[in-house]
């Protein structure tokens, strides 16, 4: 019998944990998951700001094989999701594969294997690498004059200082993506003053949040079909399909429906006409990642949050100076200014076959064949890599679909019929050409800035329907692959 293949998984977030579970279940236990941080959880470890909530319904944001009847609310708070992953790694006995404080700094394909280098000097070797290093994990700090001069507390949203008690403080929040909106909604009731700095207004889709009662949780535990009704029910899935149809075709009836809901939310939810105009975006709804909120408009009105949409001039020792001349004296500045979304596995150095450097391959934009594989990078698979679907649906489901694709591609290698697999350059180039053309026509390309856009303004996303993605993942086109 041939020796078991050696797997290296990079990252112990949601996708890396999935890979570990799937490999271990398949008996592939010659496996290590390297995690650069001190604990698992990825996004849900990094983010712990007040108000952190996943905007996918909790029961839909679980692995399909690990439902969780105990969620506290329809939309789960971040810390509960982090606990879910902690529990899952024990339930599925994969903690033993995870090595924390282990940052992979390079991977190089040499003589038919991946040489792996870690920051602390350790070396490893792998037949197959699963890059599950996440998307939004390199904080983007704003380029604002004087930022370092501020003498109060200042941190990025993904570096939240849990020791700080924000109540009674004068707080400025810069940025109004999903993060900024959640932070402001959470801090408004207790802050002494709260200023929300909004470079560009955002559309907000109203959603309903509610807490599950003990009786609800008991019912979910007693009857798993009740969880399935939510997880696989029409309400959620019709929503996913409507949403992706809207993204793909900005003139579609589905997009009109989303626009109407957002517009009505603004018109009916914001009483003061001046504030309403301040908050009114001038671009297509869902062009930037659509914000789901049940309380932002209420919170900012009930607590007199100052919304400032004029430009920040500079930060000074004691606050923020606007170009308008206005000065806000502040105790705390929270930078909800997003992430460098084009990094993926970077800064890990990845050198493929023939010395192909991933940095060069991605010089124009990060790409991957069907978001998963890369020509010249044999036996290298990405989970939630570039050009995958994005939207307000579960990336866990996306990772599971991608795993189905990866498992099929790996089969000949695991069975000993081939040593490696990689897509052909031609197939990938043709995919990428089709993708870029289609992506330009999605709602993300209709004229707004967002983290979806690459340096040329092309959305780095899957530009077709959710079902088309599921379809593509269900059966790789082996004609597009080379096996060696």
Q: Which residues would be at the binding site for ligand NA7 (CB under 6 A)?
A: 136, 142-144, 157, 174-180, 199-200, 288-289, 312, 336-338, 449, 451
Contact 189/357 with Cβ under 8 angstroms? Answer: no
Provide CB contacts within 8 A for 112, sequence distance 6+: 419, 420
Give the torsion sign (CA, 317, 323, 326, 330).
negative
When the beta carbons of 209 and 449 are compared against ligand NA7, the nearer one is 449
What one-character DSSP code corresponds to residue 123? E
Q: Which residue is nearest to ligand NA7 (CB)?
A: 177
Q: Which is nearer to ligand NA7, 90 or 143 (CB)?
A: 143
Which DSSP string do the residues of 227-269 spell out, in sequence order?
HHHHHSSHHHHHHHHHHHHHHH-TTSHHHHHHHHHHHHHHHHH
Identity of the residue, 144 or 270, whose beta carbon is nearer to ligand NA7 in the bound complex:
144
Query: CB of 199: closest distance to ligand NA7 in angstroms?
Result: 3
Q: What is the nearest approach in angstroms of ligand NA7 to the Cβ of residue 398?
A: 12
The CB-of-462 to ligand NA7 minimum distance in angstroms stands at: 15
For ligand NA7, the closer of residues 95 and 199 by Cβ is: 199
Kindly tell me which of 246 and 312 has the beta carbon lying closer to ligand NA7: 312
Q: What angle do CA 400, 394, 259 make, to 5 degrees?
A: 145
CA dist 117 to 4, 15, 109, 350, Å? 21, 21, 12, 10
**CA count, 13 A, side-chain hemisphere, 63:** 21
* Nearer residue to ligand NA7 within complex by CB, 289 or 299: 289
Residue 131 CB, shortest distance to ligand NA7, in Å, is 19
Shortest reach from residue 12's CB to ligand NA7, in Å: 19
Q: Which is nearer to ligand NA7, 107 or 315 (CB)?
A: 315
Answer yes or no: are the C-beta atoms of 365 and 454 closer than 8 Å.
yes
H or E segment to which residue 206 belongs: strand 204-206
- Distance, in Å, from the CA atom of 422 to the CA atom of 348, rounded to the nearest integer, reads 20
Rounded to a whole number of angstroms, the distance between the first and last alpha carbons of the chain is: 20
User: What is the smallest separation between the CB atom of 86 and ligand NA7, expressed in angstroms?
Assistant: 21
């Amino acid at each position: 019998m041939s020796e078991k293949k050696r797997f290296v998984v990079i990252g112990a977030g949601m996708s890396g944990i999935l890979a570990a579970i799937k490999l271990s279940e398949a008996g592939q236990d010659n496996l290590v998951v390297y995690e650069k941080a001190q604990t698992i959880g990825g996004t849900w470890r990094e983010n712990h700001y007040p108000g952190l909530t996943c905007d996918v319904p909790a029961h839909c944001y679980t692995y399909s094989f690990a439902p969780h009847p105990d969620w506290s609310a329809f939309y789960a708070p971040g810390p509960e999701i982090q606990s879910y992953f902690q529990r899952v790694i024990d339930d599925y006995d994969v903690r033993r594969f995870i090595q924390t404080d282990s940052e992979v700094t390079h991977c190089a394909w040499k003589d038919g294997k991946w040489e792996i280098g870690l920051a602390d000097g350790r070396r490893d070797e792998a037949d197959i690498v699963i890059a599950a290093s996440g998307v939004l994990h390199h904080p983007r700090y704003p380029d604002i004059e004087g930022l370092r001069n501020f003498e109060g507390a200042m941190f990025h949203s993904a570096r939240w200082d849990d020791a700080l008690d924000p109540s009674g403080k004068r707080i400025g929040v810069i940025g109004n993506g999903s993060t900024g909106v959640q932070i402001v909604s959470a801090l408004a009731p207790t802050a002494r003053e709260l200023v929300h700095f909004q470079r560009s207004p955002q559309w907000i889709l109203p959603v309903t949040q509610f807490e599950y009662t003990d009786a609800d949780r008991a019912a979910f535990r007693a009857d798993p079909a009740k969880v399935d009704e939510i997880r696989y029910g029409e309400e959620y899935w019709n929503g996913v399909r409507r949403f992706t149809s809207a993204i793909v075709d900005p003139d579609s009836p589905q997009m009109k429906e989303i626009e109407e809901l957002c517009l009505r939310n603004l018109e009916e939810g914001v009483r003061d006409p001046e504030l309403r105009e301040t908050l009114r975006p001038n671009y297509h709804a869902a062009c930037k990642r659509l914000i789901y909120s049940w309380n932002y408009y209420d919170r900012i009105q009930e607590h007199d949050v100052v919304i400032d949409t004029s430009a920040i001039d500079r930060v000074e020792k004691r606050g923020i100076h606007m170009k308008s001349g206005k000065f806000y004296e502040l105790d705390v500045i929270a930078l909800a200014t997003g992430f460098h979304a084009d990094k993926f596995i970077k800064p890990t150095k990845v050198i493929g076959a023939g010395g192909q450097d991933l940095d060069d391959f991605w010089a124009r934009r990060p790409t991957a064949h069907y978001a998963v594989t890369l020509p010249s990078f044999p036996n290298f698979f990405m989970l939630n890599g570039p050009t995958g679907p994005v939207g307000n649906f579960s990336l866990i489901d996306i990772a599971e679909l991608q795993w189905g694709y990866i498992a099929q591609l790996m089969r000949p290698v695991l069975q000993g019929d081939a040593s490696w697999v990689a897509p052909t350059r031609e197939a990938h180039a043709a995919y990428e050409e089709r993708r870029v053309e289609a992506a330009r026509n999605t709602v993300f390309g209709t004229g707004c800035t967002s983290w979806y856009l690459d340096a040329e303004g092309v959305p780095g996303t899957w530009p077709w329907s959710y079902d088309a993605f599921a379809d593509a993942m269900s059966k790789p086109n082996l004609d597009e692959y080379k096996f060696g």
